Amino acid sequence: MAYTINKTDGTTIATITDGTLNNTTSLTLFGKSYSGWGELLQENLVKLLENSSSSSAPTAPLSGEIWFDTASKQLKVYDGTAFKPTGGAKSQSTAPTSASAGDLWMDTDDNQVYVYTGSAWLLVGPVYSSGQTLSGWSIETINNSSGVSKVIASMFVGNERVAILSKEAITPQTAITGFASIVAGLTLNSTLSASFSGTSTQAAAINVSGTSNTSSTVIAGGNFLRSDVADTTTGALTIDTDSGLIVGDTSELTLTVSSGNVIVAQTRQDKDLSFTINDGGTTKTPLAFTGTTGNITLTGDTTITGNLTITGSYDKSSVDVSTYVDAFIGVNEGNASDVDGGLIVEKASGEARIFWDTSESYWSAGVTGSFSQVIRLADVTDDGGANHSKVLKASSAGGLTMDSVTLVAVGSDITSSTSASTKTVPSIGQVQKSLKLWGGSVISDDSSNSIAGNRYVETVAPTSGQGADGDLWFVREA
């Protein structure tokens, strides 16, 4: 009668007739009354004991069959498709091959444990190799100064504690090198001069004790300007905004820019703006703006290079004489229309002026409202006959030309030769009278003269007995 061999799940794996063998599995199955069946049975038991130990996998495995691979020294199980390692840890210096997901491997070189993910070996720990020594976070429990246990996380690098992370401030009961006290948060080892490097968006404080920069972009805290105390900068300070600079507890002084124009302002009502200097140890105020009036006070000598334009009255209270190196002083510049302009000299009473009279187009001068034309040399002439109503002057030869001259009074008679020394201009009557004198006497009129009127006019010289002493005798051509 044939044997029917079933698997655990009830399915038939083989039907063996009497006296025959079946090799459809890794074991040799034999039928009823097979001769030599005892040897085969013993061999089957040995195979089961050694899990078919061989460098080659069984050729007819069943699902769940175990095989010890002598080549990889691994125990493997058949999953219906292939033999897969059964798991467990491998301790060796190189990564195992033909690993299954979940397998563990102890790297004997670095003393690190890995797990196989199904595609690669993933480090389980520790995160540092034996050569690197203790590195990474280590969770510890320490006692504070009161003996109370506190949990901290220490960051080690090369077996050196670099930082401690804590949820609260702690003063260790047992000294920890570089950590006299631990703050809530991250505390760095003080003996390593450790610091944070990178970008910080917010900080509660900055250490300003150092001034040595790490680089042009990593600046020491001591090189930052402080707002809580007086501070100094050795570089230029640029305020890149038109809002500018504001000074004072109530923002009295502002330096701003508007449309490219710079504005210095004293913003507090009715308060002054002064500019002071140190003159030989004495503080002086050469320029001051009065807040209540808007007046400007200049103290000290003032030099103006360029034009000075004054709109309004000019009051010179000093009696000092001002001197100017300019060849000309300009007034009335910029007016839309011509107006009188000139120089005014203030007196104790009234004033004296010399000015250009725009309506008359000439210079005028005078005192206290009584002004008349200033005569220029170009306005006079030595020829009164050709230039009526002009002021006269002597020619280069000392002469004058006139149509006529009328004297307001007749001078004394010319009665003697001594009258010739006077420079007074004689009148017509004086000349007529003088003609009647000769030698100091009046010319006689005896009616026998050829020409009456005390004149003798003949073609010949007078003879003895004609005329009287002092008479004039004119001889004319015949």
Q: pLDDT tens-digit profile of 415-446?
A: 554 455 566 666 666 666 655 554 444 444 44
CB-based burial, 319-342: b 16+ in 10 Å, e otherwise: eeeeeeeeeeeeeeeeeeeeeeee
Helices (H), 51-112: none
What's the one-letter identity of residue 261?
N
In a domain, 260, yes or no: yes
**Across all residues in the chain, what is the average pLDDT?**
84
Decide if 289 is inside a domain: yes
**Is the per-residue pLDDT at 265 higher than 50?**
yes
Does the predicted model carry a pTM greater than 0.85?
Answer: no
Q: Which residue has the higher pLDDT, 234 or 436?
A: 234
pLDDT tens readout for residues 69-116: 888 788 889 999 988 877 667 788 999 877 778 888 889 999 999 998
User: With bands split at pLDDT 50, 70 and 90, how would you rate the model's confidence at 382?
Assistant: confident
For the chain, the domain total comes to 2
145 in a domain, yes or no? no
Joined together, the tokens standing for residue 39 give 């040897």
Domain boundary among 99, 125, 151: 125
Residue with the larger pLDDT of the pair 137 and 206: 137
HSE-CB at 167 with a 13 A cutoff on CA atoms is 4
Question: Is residue 224 predicted with pLDDT exceeding 80?
Answer: yes
Q: What six digits make up the tokens of 174?
A: 């047992």
Structural domain ending residue among the three candidates 78, 110, 125: 125
pLDDT at 455 over 60: no
Range of the domain at 291: 238-298
Query: Quick one: CA torsion of 397, 399, 400, 405, rounded to 10 degrees?
Result: 180
Q: Could you tell me the CA-to-CA distances from 59 to 24, 27, 67, 71, 76 in Å, in that order?
A: 9, 10, 11, 16, 14
Contact call for residues 194 and 162 (beta carbons, < 8 A): yes
Residue 167 domain-assigned (yes or no): no
Q: In this structure, are residues 195 and 187 in contact, taking their beta carbons and an 8 Å threshold?
A: no
DSSP secondary structure letter of residue 47? H
Q: Please name the helix (run of DSSP H) or strand (run of DSSP E) that holds residue 48, with its range, or none.
A: helix 37-50
How far apart (Å, rounded) are the C-alpha atoms in residues 5 and 25?
11
Where does residue 85 fall: left (phi above 0), alpha (psi -120 to 50 degrees), or beta otherwise? Answer: beta
Window from 19-23, 178-182, 350-354, 389-393 with minimum mean pLDDT: 389-393
Tokens 């000309």 locate to 328
Percent of the chain predicted with pLDDT > 70 = 85
Return the higher-pLDDT residue of 35 and 464: 35
| Residue 449: pLDDT over 50 | no
The candidate with the shortest Cα–Cα distance to 165, out of 153, 182, 179, is 153
56-to-59, 66, 67, 74 alpha-carbon distances in Å: 8, 13, 9, 12
174 falls within a domain = no
Question: For residue 362, which phi and psi values (nearest 5 degrees)?
Answer: -155, 165
Among 298, 328, 343, give the residue marking a domain's end.
298
Three-state secondary structure call for residue 258: strand
In a domain, residue 252? The reply is: yes
Q: How confident is the model at residue 53 (pLDDT cuts 50, 70, 90)?
A: very high
- Count other Cβ atoms within 10 Å, centred on residue 399: 9
Confidence check: pLDDT of 451 > 60: no
* In the predicted structure, residue 317 carries a pLDDT above the cut 70: no
Residue 268 within a domain: yes
Q: What is the mean pLDDT of residues 379-389?
A: 82
Structure tokens at 387: 């230039």
The whole-number pLDDT of residue 135 equals 92
pLDDT confidence tier of residue 203, bands split at 50, 70 and 90: confident
Q: Per residue in 27-51, pLDDT tens?
A: 989 988 898 898 999 998 999 999 9
Coil, strand or helix: which one is 92?
Answer: strand
Query: Is 406 contained in some domain?
Result: no
- Report the alpha-carbon distance of residue 186 to residue 183 in Å, rounded: 7
